[in-house]
Structure 1
């Protein structure tokens, strides 16, 4: 055994950009403009170009990116927004924050994302938007969801907080929808050294509105066109993210290579491995399997000093904070089953093959023993 293997380790990324990052940090601090400076504007353009969008608007975090996107598109009180129950709480929280009602559609048990078929069952006269989540780095089927949204006159917003760099038919996040939300939380594929987020879109008017909303609904100092938020991406974070963005393709390729090694090594083990449809490019924010005895496997790995994590142990429709929506256990069986059996194995840029081999060996040993 070669020592503790964490489920995620950010030290390699830092060492890869340390020299340049310290230099640009000093530059920003010397210039003295820390809010909405040149680096924010440059990052907005660079991330938009990287993902194939016309506009990017930097905001305070991924949750705000979702909230501002929904509000900017006119989603509000009493509207229903169809989304997934298998995601981080912020997805539903953003819907509720604009006064709308989360409506949960079940997921595909192989890909863990909602589909046009499961969403269609939930559309009502109150539905205003569809909000798919590209979970763990895999895009939902945006072509089908786009067709459905257009046919019913609905807004389409992507929670792409875990999926920068992901593609469907060679097209990136944001391209199929009205807007996409990105998170720069430190553990994300493109992570900052604090909080940060961005909204991506094609529409110039929407971009202008979200820029206004992020600074208290203002475009002119002390003149406020509407009620807004205080949600701005820090200049320091933007400067550091610009450096990391230049490394993102390299780091994504490492994630995909590690995922392919897992797929090959574990394909005879009685677990469900991540699924990636042929027309998609998975960026493996997390490498998440399903195991019948998930908790037993997790404990076994822990005993071997190997980290693993459960994302997410309780689906959103069963969260106490959303009990008022009236969902009961059994309402969304695929999401509930995945929540009970999912386990994310170590995978991150800089992970050595020897480390991964230790994880593979431990997983195989558990099932051989069982």
Structure 2
């Protein structure tokens, strides 16, 4: 049996006629930049999340940049975040000349350990950036409480958790600014790069909308140093189709996750833990195994692809050597990075396929 990790081909085929029509309409109109498709998508996004404002942009990375630029992050500022995430979380901090300050993670959720944040706050701290990893939101009430105490904004890196729930509210609408990604393999993915920022603050919304258009307030009048960060109309058209089916896709992902968890029960494999006051959109189904290389090799030989998100914590990456961290500084992140392994996860996996994966894992 050969199993597809993300099944992007089926994702296209399932709604092929609608995608083809939406793309054809954009091409026929030659309206490739901004326009009605983008405005329609932004309206759908803010309604779905429940935020007052949604501003689409060119990628999840640019969403983080827009958020930090809107908050006027400057060289020398410190931003608290997690070392166990995709590099974009900390890369964007460093790109603006600010300093990523890492906090170890919670062993159960893989998200930032909220009990260790406050001790890292200094007079240079200007924001907290928790990551809602693998589809599950971080502990936002505790994070927002600490942020409020020190008058700090919070940027949720929700690149993997669009639509996940935290105490009945949705990811991207839990903090000062929420940022997400529409990279093709994400739960809500377009056919290229894309992202969005969310806020309930009109001043920040207007500034981010301006920043993505080179800081423009009206044509050729620039209030800020900005960037070319627009989402193109083709990607917006694709997402407008996908939004219609997103809740059902999340439900199917949940069903796949439940099958994995049930079939792996009683084995030595550590399956994901989701808090009872949260839901996950299952960007990944990540397990922990002690002999990862051996397990991955065996699965590959049996037609089962796997991935490691992430094999090297950010504090040990060469590009962050200048921060002065060393091995042992964040032991939980370091341990999990040697054991974590993601199994195939998409809405189209069948019970037969999931059973096959689990049988190979247990044998």
Q: TM-score range by the shorter chain?
A: over 0.9
SS at match of 1:111: coil
In the alignment, which residue of structure 2 is the partner of 1:316? Answer: 314
**Number of residues paired by the alignment?**
363
In the alignment, which residue of structure 1 is the partner of 2:289? Answer: 291
Q: Supply the distance in 1 between the matched residues of 2:171 and 2:356 (Cα, whole angstroms).
A: 34
In the alignment, which residue of structure 1 is the partner of 2:196? Answer: 198
TM-score normalised according to structure 1 size: 0.97
Matches within 5 A, 1:1-370: 3-365=1-363
SS at match of 2:120: coil
Q: Supply the distance in 2 between the matched residues of 1:57 and 1:176 (Cα, whole angstroms).
A: 16
Q: Supply the distance in 2 between the matched residues of 1:91 and 1:212 (Cα, whole angstroms).
A: 22
SS at match of 1:155: coil
Contact 1:115 1:145 in 2 (8 A): no
Q: Supply the distance in 1 between the matched residues of 2:49 and 2:224 (Cα, whole angstroms).
A: 30
Q: Supply the distance in 1 between the matched residues of 2:194 and 2:321 (Cα, whole angstroms).
A: 30
Contact 1:7 1:344 in 2 (8 A): no
Q: Supply the distance in 2 between the matched residues of 1:336 and 1:329 (Cα, whole angstroms).
A: 8
Task: State the 1:209 CA deviation.
Answer: 0.4
Q: Supply the distance in 2 between the matched residues of 1:264 and 1:299 (Cα, whole angstroms).
A: 24
SS at match of 1:281: coil
Contact 1:12 1:349 in 2 (8 A): no
SS at match of 1:92: helix
SS at match of 1:121: helix
Structure 1: 4+ residue segments shifted above 4 A: none
SS at match of 2:46: helix
Contact 1:169 1:279 in 2 (8 A): yes
Contact 2:215 2:222 in 1 (8 A): yes
Tell me the C-alpha RMSD between the 2 structures: 0.9
TM-score normalised according to structure 2 size: 0.98
Task: State the 1:356 CA deviation.
Answer: 0.8
SS at match of 1:199: strand
